[in-house]
Amino acid sequence: MNIFPKEVKFNISSLDNYNELDLYIKYHYPPINNIDNLIFIVHNPKEVLLRHSDYKYDINNYNSYFDLIDYYNKYDGNKNIFFYEDMCSHKNNFIKELYEFLDNKNEKKLEYVLENIDELFELSKEGKNRNWGGVNSNSIDNYYYSKISGIDKEKFDNYIKSKIETNKYNIIKEKYNL
């Protein structure tokens, strides 16, 4: 239900015309209700955790990130994982994989999205009606991590290392070379 700076063909402006079972709901915490399908989007912890904690050591904020990964790992239903960085750098592949996972048969919508992917990406970055800080890093690796220093960086690195050493988070360990 983003509000874009320009009309987007398939944007949902109201839930009144949609069956809730046909929609995917974005969560930043493990959902309380049972869900049928899980699309999990994960971002490099060295970036997302520092961004959302204003570059300060915040163990509660950090733990919520790993709680979501625990939820994904334990979820035994239909699920797919996407990495934020891949979504940004391989937009077409991401859209094709997403449509395949959703088993979406609307070829015209897929064609429209693929033909307009760069514009839609830019419009999404400018979207309103959501709680976020905007696009600040321009998808630069280690943008936020490079801004932390001193004792907070040491505590942060030790925290990440302690999580990775549990072997519960191999999916991010391998992806982000942690």
Report the distance separating Cα 100 and Cα 94, nearest Å. 10
Report the length, in residues, of the chain. Answer: 178
- Position 2 scores a pLDDT of 67
* Residue 115 clears pLDDT 70, i.e. is over it: yes
Give the single-character DSSP code of 176. T
Q: Which residues pair with 40 in a beta bridge?
A: 81
The answer to whether residue 6 sits within a structural domain is: no
Q: Round the average pLDDT of the chain to a whole number and report it.
A: 84
**Which residue, among 88, 13, 77, has the nearest Cα to 39 in the 3D structure?**
77
Q: Which residues pair with 39 in a beta bridge?
A: 80
| pTM for this model (two decimals) | 0.83
The answer to whether residue 135 sits within a structural domain is: no
- Position 40 scores a pLDDT of 93
User: What would the two tokens of residue 27 be?
Assistant: 């969560």
pLDDT tens-digit readout, 53-110? 887 788 888 899 999 999 999 999 999 999 998 988 899 999 999 999 988 888 998 9
**Which residue, among 155, 156, 132, has the nearest Cα to 144 in the 3D structure?**
156
Which tops the pLDDT comparison, 114 or 153? 114
The answer to whether residue 5 sits within a structural domain is: no
Burial 104-125 (b: 16+ CB within 10 A, else e): eeeeeebeebeeeeeebeebee
The answer to whether residue 134 sits within a structural domain is: no
The answer to whether residue 71 sits within a structural domain is: yes
pLDDT tens-digit readout, 4-33? 778 877 767 777 777 776 677 777 788 887
- Position 16 scores a pLDDT of 76
Which tops the pLDDT comparison, 1 or 170? 170
Total structural domains within the chain? 1
Determine the structural domain holding residue 78 and report its residue range.
37-128+141-175
